[in-house]
Chains A and B, each alone.
Chain A
């Protein structure tokens, strides 16, 4: 017999991770797939979102309820969180209000972070941008793990449970909220890239010079897309923190938060949001399965299974790029009235060959 409770837990776990990574994949797809900006600093935005959540949720709640007089936010974190949670569990309105305020603050801060991180190299070739963003992501993590008052440095901080009022339904509720936000982000980005603005983004990607020639400010468009992308990616950090209810500064590594989203987008097919969703599903299912079943073979190997997983998925990325560079679901030309899609596809292939 399958344990029903366990099954629900597994499904919720997969759904949560799927939703969080879907946000990242969509953000990267907007930047790389549609606009051609290779953002190697996704981890930066995720960390930005999570650090703000960790540093501010508790402090805001403390100030609102006036609890924890004379306690230090970091060293007495567990106690403060307990006090705040006790109050929050009867106060749904305040919980939702703090969440809204937090999202607003995260948006502003991460828009700024995205702007600053992309500034040095936004006018230069793509490889300069990749190098700067990778370095900036690393720098944010160094600040997070060393600046103790932010999120406790090498320790962690608890995130007060803004949804404690849901009681027993809390886990399901949070999972649904995360999923709903993820779907909203997906639909919003989808609307953006199918609008005339999306056409502009693809024009910037396909031929920068032509876009410049028809009077489009390429640098400004790119900056804007990086800012939007960073804000979207930071939501993933916020939701991840609320899912775990803790923020550990060192957790926002390049592998987990930059490489996996890239893998998802490359697997699914860049410049195609449905593809990105499929890629996310494939990668998340693979990773969760490895995590569920790793204890079966953990006893037989003298090292941690996570390294095997990384080798496997790293190889998968290279193989995908060799054998199916367009991804599982390739980009389709946008519908134009009066022109059949097949003709467009043919024209595009001819222009590529030429």
Chain B
């Protein structure tokens, strides 16, 4: 049987890549870190809460709804807030502050909803966990199967989209050089909006699965943001594939590392779990600021130059 720690780690890492790819994609298209990204996941958490606790339906019905609401929020943030600010000539730093403002607004709306539900219906609306509502399949929790499937689909989907479809290629062109891309007839704004739509949706989706295994509350997003940023930075912050690798590395290290340290030092370590992605982030920034992608490229460049020297010798 698979030990529960491994299930925990894989499940968390799966959710993390849904979020870190999104964070990276928004960074690529708008050139700013989106601090509201974690809060989009919190929206998903509350969609699941609504579907299960208020409507009394299967929690997986929440997934598509969360995707749409998250996607809508993402697109709204890009088109209305960032678009308007850009039109008025805002700097990248002001754009980033605006995402912080959005985070606070969305968080406040979620809190209003949580208060409203608690006060009018008497349902506990913070610090909940729905493991009991999940199905089980050959001894595995359903959310593990679903999240793994989603993660695989995401990786395949992104790969096919970026290499095979016209939209993916125009997305890459937009990221590479927006001015040149628009000269060649790519609708840069549309591509960016669709990217933000997609990333918001993925965040909502990840959030909707989260309470089936972990504790959900309005602050879930704020907590997970650190892990998302660490994954994205580990992946080199400007590469989707890097973000996938970074998400798995950070997700697995965070869970397995905490458990290993708990065995070593005692159970008090679990409270400081957040420090693991933070340390990883600091080490990456100090030693290899371009992340794993940078390391690979460095190795490849060295290999190429070695081959070049060999050729010169011959």
> Footprint of B on A, CB under 8 Å?
32, 38, 40, 119-121, 124, 126-128, 130-132, 134-136, 138-139, 142-143, 146, 254-255, 258-259, 262, 266, 302-304, 307-308, 310-311, 313-315, 317-318, 321-323, 325
> Footprint of A on B, CB under 8 Å?
27, 31-33, 35, 81, 84-85, 88-90, 92-94, 96-98, 100-102, 104-105, 107-109, 111-112, 115-116, 119-120, 222-223, 225-226, 229-230, 233, 237, 268, 271-272, 274-275, 277-278, 281-282, 285-286, 289
Bound-state CA distance A302–B92 (Å) is 38
Min Cβ gap B36→A in Å is 11
Which residue of B27, B92, B101, B230 contacts A135 across the interface (Cβ within 8 Å)? Answer: B230
Please, which residue of chain A has its CB at the minimum distance from the CB of B282?
A: A120
CB-defined A-B contacts under 8 Å, sample of 11: A131-B233, A132-B282, A135-B226, A139-B275, A254-B222, A259-B101, A266-B94, A302-B116, A303-B116, A308-B112, A321-B98
Contact (Cβ within 8 A) A124 B285: yes
Please, which residue of chain B has its CB at the minimum distance from the CB of A136?
A: B278
Contact (Cβ within 8 A) B289 A314: no
Contact (Cβ within 8 A) B33 A131: yes
Min Cβ gap A266→B in Å is 7
Contact (Cβ within 8 A) A142 B271: yes
Which residue of A127, A128, A254, A310 contacts B108 across the interface (Cβ within 8 Å)? Answer: A310
Taking A135-B278, A302-B119, A304-B111 as known contacts, 8 extra A-B pairs with beta carbons closer than 8 A to each other, sorted by chain A number, are: A40-B100, A124-B289, A127-B27, A127-B32, A135-B226, A310-B108, A314-B102, A325-B88
Please, which residue of chain A has its CB at the minimum distance from the CB of B120?
A: A302
Q: Inside 8 A of B111's CB, which chain A residues have their CB?
A: 303-304, 307
Contact (Cβ within 8 A) B119 A303: yes
Min Cβ gap A310→B in Å is 4
Bound-state CA distance A322–B109 (Å) is 22
Q: Inside 8 A of B88's CB, which chain A residues have their CB?
A: 321-323, 325
Min Cβ gap B276→A in Å is 10
Contact (Cβ within 8 A) A259 B229: no
Bound-state CA distance A78–B89 (Å) is 54
Contact (Cβ within 8 A) B33 A262: no
Q: Inside 8 A of B277's CB, which chain A residues have their CB?
A: 135
Contact (Cβ within 8 A) B94 A325: yes
Contact (Cβ within 8 A) B285 A318: no
Min Cβ gap A257→B in Å is 13
Contact (Cβ within 8 A) A131 B278: no
Contact (Cβ within 8 A) B96 A38: yes
B contact patch SS? helix
Contact (Cβ within 8 A) A126 B93: yes
Contact (Cβ within 8 A) A142 B274: yes
Contact (Cβ within 8 A) B282 A314: no
Contact (Cβ within 8 A) B222 A318: no
Bound-state CA distance A322–B85 (Å) is 6
Bound-state CA distance A314–B225 (Å) is 19
Q: Inside 8 A of B112's CB, which chain A residues have their CB?
A: 303, 307-308
The answer to whether A262 and B100 touch (CB under 8 A), given A120-B286, A132-B285, A146-B272, is yes
**Which residue, A307, A310, A313, has most C-beta atoms of chain B within 10 A?**
A307
Q: Inside 8 A of A124's CB, which chain B residues have their CB?
A: 285, 289
Min Cβ gap A202→B in Å is 16
Contact (Cβ within 8 A) A317 B226: no
Bound-state CA distance A128–B100 (Å) is 15
Q: Inside 8 A of B85's CB, which chain A residues have their CB?
A: 318, 321-322
Which residue of A126, A138, A302, A308 contacts B222 across the interface (Cβ within 8 Å)? Answer: A138
Min Cβ gap B165→A in Å is 29
Contact (Cβ within 8 A) B35 A321: no
Please, which residue of chain A has its CB at the minimum distance from the CB of B31?
A: A127
Contact (Cβ within 8 A) B35 A134: yes
Q: Inside 8 A of B84's CB, which chain A residues have their CB?
A: 322
Please, which residue of chain B has its CB at the minimum distance from the CB of A307?
A: B108
The answer to whether A128 and B98 touch (CB under 8 A), given A120-B282, A254-B222, A314-B108, is no
The answer to whether A308 and B108 touch (CB under 8 A), given A40-B100, A134-B35, is yes
The answer to whether A135 and B222 touch (CB under 8 A), given A40-B100, A127-B92, A318-B101, is no
**Which residue, B31, B101, B109, B222, has most C-beta atoms of chain A within 10 A?**
B101
Q: Inside 8 A of B274's CB, which chain A residues have their CB?
A: 138-139, 142
The answer to whether A128 and B104 touch (CB under 8 A), given A143-B272, A321-B97, is no
Contact (Cβ within 8 A) A138 B226: yes
The 5 closest A-B pairs by CB, nearest first: A303-B115, A146-B271, A120-B285, A307-B108, A310-B108
The answer to whether A119 and B104 touch (CB under 8 A), given A139-B278, A266-B97, A317-B98, is no
Q: Inside 8 A of A120's CB, which chain B residues have their CB?
A: 281-282, 285-286
Please, which residue of chain B has its CB at the minimum distance from the CB of A38?
A: B93
**Which residue, A131, A303, A314, A322, has most C-beta atoms of chain B within 10 A?**
A131
Contact (Cβ within 8 A) B115 A130: no
Contact (Cβ within 8 A) B35 A121: no
Q: Inside 8 A of B275's CB, which chain A residues have their CB?
A: 139, 142-143
Please, which residue of chain B has its CB at the minimum distance from the CB of A116?
A: B282
Please, which residue of chain B has its CB at the minimum distance from the CB of A124?
A: B289
Q: Inside 8 A of A321's CB, which chain B residues have their CB?
A: 85, 88, 90, 94, 97-98
The answer to whether A128 and B119 touch (CB under 8 A), given A304-B111, A318-B101, A321-B94, is no
Please, which residue of chain A has its CB at the minimum distance from the CB of B270?
A: A146
